[in-house]
A and B are shown apart, each in its own frame.
Chain A
């Protein structure tokens, strides 16, 4: 299975997916930590993947999404964005709406 297929499979098996550096419990980067916290604050049940432990996945995601950095949030298989887009959505209450709709 190619990396791109593996990514597609991961994105189709969970509604909310966060690719991050480290884990929600042990984030390895401030931006990844903030992204996980915001999702937690919205009551999101999400699956996270640590791209530091999978360099092939890390490169594959950059090509898949044309997004060069992490964290990367996906809802219903669609890229929502990185930490600063999540922050802006969170402040406007739109991240909560996204999470509620996805988990509804």
Chain B
């Protein structure tokens, strides 16, 4: 079963330099991600960037991941 730590590492690997915090119960997770790649992007694109770092896990082992995505200056 996925652990918050696993998700944190995958996001950090996919968005180098991002500050990531993840909590969750094994199926439903919440994550806050601060990354410079988000600057100037809308919510949808930001979430897609995070989902891309999780590959096939999203929608399978990870049933739900609610996201707070911020650029460094927000």
Q: Mark A51-84, 1 if CB is under 8 A from B, else 0.
A: 0000000000010001111100000000111111
B44 within 8 A of A: yes
A46 within 8 A of B: no
Q: Which B residues between 32 and 74 are near A, CB-CB below 8 angstroms?
A: 43-44, 47-48, 51-52, 54, 58-59, 64-67
Give Cα A66–Cα B47 distance, bound, in whole angstroms.
10
Given contacts A31-B64, A84-B67, contact A68 B59 (CB under 8 A): yes
**Across-interface contacts of B43 in A (CB, < 8 A):** 81, 85, 88
Q: What range describes how many residues of B lie at the interface?
A: 10 to 19
Q: Let me know if B66 and A68 touch, CB within 8 A.
A: no
Q: Let me know if B59 and A81 touch, CB within 8 A.
A: no
23 A-B pairs whose Cβ atoms sit less than 8 Å apart in the complex: A31-B64, A62-B59, A66-B48, A66-B52, A67-B48, A68-B51, A68-B54, A68-B58, A68-B59, A69-B51, A69-B64, A69-B65, A79-B44, A80-B44, A81-B47, A82-B47, A83-B66, A84-B66, A84-B67, A85-B43, A85-B44, A85-B47, A88-B43
Query: A interface vs B, CB < 8 Å?
Result: 31, 62, 66-70, 79-85, 88
18 additional A-B residue pairs with CB within 8 Å, beyond A68-B58, A84-B67, A85-B43:
A31-B64, A62-B59, A66-B48, A66-B51, A67-B48, A67-B51, A68-B51, A68-B54, A69-B51, A69-B59, A69-B65, A70-B59, A79-B44, A80-B44, A81-B43, A83-B64, A85-B44, A88-B43
